Amino acid sequence: MDIFDNVFNAEGVVIVGAGLAGLFCALKLAPRPVTVLSPMPLGSGASSAWAQGGVAAAVGQGDSARAHALDTEMAGAGIVDHGVAESVTAEAAARIDDLADWGTPFDRDALGQFVLSREAAHSANRVVRVSGDRAGHAIMQAIIARVRQTPSIRVLEGITAVDLAHAEGRIVGVFCRRLGDRYVEPVFIRARATVLAAGGLGGLYATTTNPPSVRGHAMGMAARAGAIIADPEFVQFHPTAILTGRDPAPLATEALRGEGAVLINDSGERFMEAIHPDAELAPRDIVARANFRQIKSGRKVFLDTREALGEKILTAYPTVAQYCHAAGIDPVTQPIPVTPAAHYHMGGVKVDEDGRSSLPGLWVCGEASCTGLHGANRLASNSLLEAIVYGARIAEDISGLEPQRRPLPYFAGIAWDAEKGARAEEVLRNLEAVKDLRATMSADVGVERDMEGLKRALRTLLELEETALEVTRAYLNMISSATLVAAAALKRTESRGGHFRTDFPHTHADWQTHTEMTLAEARAIRAQA
């Protein structure tokens, strides 16, 4: 019999996470029964809903999937998987059709054709958008409405997964906590197929554009279960988070620079022209480092939309305009103060072309995964594309599996040691520990890195882990993800894409390969720091 009283049978498939990747997968699995776990009310805790740019897809006249793939590989700094780039960009148009069929109100011209915008490092206008900068929100609203109309999809809100369950060599479900429940007993949700789609790790940094819940829980959970993690050192910092003092920081979309907005410092100097031939439309890592260095030297950085857009920003980019007005900034007459912020994780749980991880029974999609599409630096608006392509692939892969007639094994893997109901002082200590973790990651594992800082970060993470062992598994997931990022960054003695080492500032052919690492290997590196 089960060793837990709180056992829930997912009737086949459980999807951890309710962002675009998870919900798209659930819809593609219909009419197969699916249980979706969402820690927050649908749409409120997912990075997908915050995406401003749109979905990259070669659907415009004169564009091609091949050109899109080439741009993806160019931006990825030498380690994009060629086959993945080719296949994902080839599937893009079909997945856009899915979103449109499910009610996404994409911007269209008088002839009904998609209105396409251009973003950094794209060779053509190919970003399909909604109301200028509201793509993520609009797509999620359409998807959520479709999910609510689909009887085969059961959504459990207020449930957070904190551990994967394994038995007889495979993942057989997840352990969960009810939101705000600090009692000893977890909820065990049993499933034949577990899909992890719970987002990235931007919230491990003090300055981020990600929702507060996106703090490496998915990758940490999988890593603690023994999954192979790929390319964890590659974190993308968006160059233009709006500097308002808010946490998380609002985003000024890339599309503004695509329309001619420029970066200036507090002396009014436009500095990107001297750094890269594409100036403000250079790859994100280059623009982010340029902004970082301006700020490090004591200057302030601004995104100036006044000449390029003027009053058009109010109607074409209402989300950005609203963020500015809330901070007392008039973007029509004033430049917008910006700063680099942790935005996207190119690394994640290593998966194959069907979204399968190294752990039988576990599929991963969205930002929690590493498919090989992004390499060392993600091309703008490829994130939502990857989410829907792999959400669909995982659904197809799971649907094609032969039904297992024998019952699932009862959970007999790791013992759930008593995670005591947290006392008030433990909760406060944990909040302070999270604050310390985020400050450490920003200071020493951020836009620019070096050996001394990375070793210091690893020592701090070890200390934080040792003092947090009796607090929560969710915090251990955060520490595990942070350790993987820092350890891989220390191991990669070169600079490439989103990973920049001031002590190894050049790219080397010997490192033109993916990092693959387990948590045990990362901890071994940490122990030597």
**Orientation of helix 451-468 relative to helix 473-491, angle to 10°:** 160
Q: How far lies 70's CA from each of 81, 376, 474, in Å?
A: 11, 15, 39
**Predicted confidence (pLDDT) per residue in 331-372, tens digit:** 999 999 999 999 999 999 999 999 999 999 999 999 999 999
* Residue 282 pLDDT class (50, 70, 90 cuts): confident
Q: From CA 398, how far away is CA 412, in angstroms rounded?
A: 24
Task: At 47, give phi and psi (nearest 5°).
Answer: -60, -30
**Predicted confidence (pLDDT) per residue in 69-82, tens digit:** 999 999 999 999 99
Q: Which long-range contacts (CB under 8 A, 24 or more apart) does 103-106 make?
A: 103/142, 103/145, 103/146, 104/130, 104/138, 104/139, 104/142, 104/143, 105/130, 105/131, 105/138, 105/142, 106/130
Lowest model confidence (mean pLDDT) among 16-30, 132-146, 157-171, 192-206: 132-146
- Max Cα–Cα distance, the chain, nearest Å: 71
Token look-up 């109607």 returns 315
The domain limits of the chain are 7-11+28-193+212-217+345-399, 236-341, 424-527
The conformation of residue 420, written as its DSSP 8-state character, comes to P
Task: At 166, give phi and psi (nearest 5°).
Answer: -130, 145
Highest mean pLDDT among 2-11, 281-290, 420-429, 476-485: 476-485
| Class of 7-11+28-193+212-217+345-399 in CATH | alpha beta
Q: From CA 24, how far away is CA 184, in angstroms rounded?
A: 33
Q: From CA 79, how far away is CA 351, in angstroms rounded?
A: 15
Lowest model confidence (mean pLDDT) among 124-133, 166-175, 486-495: 124-133
**Bond preceding residue 31 cis, omega within 30 of 0:** yes
% residues pLDDT > 70 (the chain): 88
Mean pLDDT, residues 248-263: 92
Q: Which residues contact 117 (CB under 8 A, 6 or more apart)?
A: 53, 54, 125, 127, 129, 255, 258, 259
Tokens matching residue 52: 């401003």
- Look at residue 380 in the predicted model and tell me its pLDDT: 86
- CATH tag for 424-527 (out of 1.20.58.100, 1.10.10.410, 2.130.10.10, 2.70.98.20): 1.20.58.100
How many CA atoms are closer than 13 Å to the CA of 107, on its beta-carbon side?
Answer: 19
Neighbours of 342 (CB within 10 A): 32
Tokens matching residue 281: 């439309």
Lowest model confidence (mean pLDDT) among 216-230, 289-303, 394-408, 474-488: 394-408
Mean pLDDT, residues 212-237: 96
Residue 316's closest CA among 240, 255, 264?
Answer: 255
Contact criterion met (CB below 8 Å) for 301 and 338: yes
Q: Which residues contact 72 (CB under 8 A, 6 or more apart)?
A: 80, 85, 88, 89, 373, 374, 375, 379, 382
**Predicted confidence (pLDDT) per residue in 173-200, tens digit:** 999 887 766 555 678 899 999 999 999 9
Q: From CA 494, how far away is CA 65, in angstroms rounded?
A: 31
Active site residues: 284
Q: Are strands 516-517 and 229-230 parallel, antiparallel or unpaired?
A: antiparallel
Tokens matching residue 5: 């009283």
The CATH code that applies to domain 236-341 is: 3.90.700.10
Q: Are strands 13-16 and 34-38 parallel, antiparallel or unpaired?
A: parallel
- 418 compared with 179, residue with greater pLDDT: 179
Residue 351's closest CA among 25, 26, 101?
Answer: 25
**Predicted confidence (pLDDT) per residue in 286-315, tens digit:** 999 999 999 999 999 999 999 999 999 999
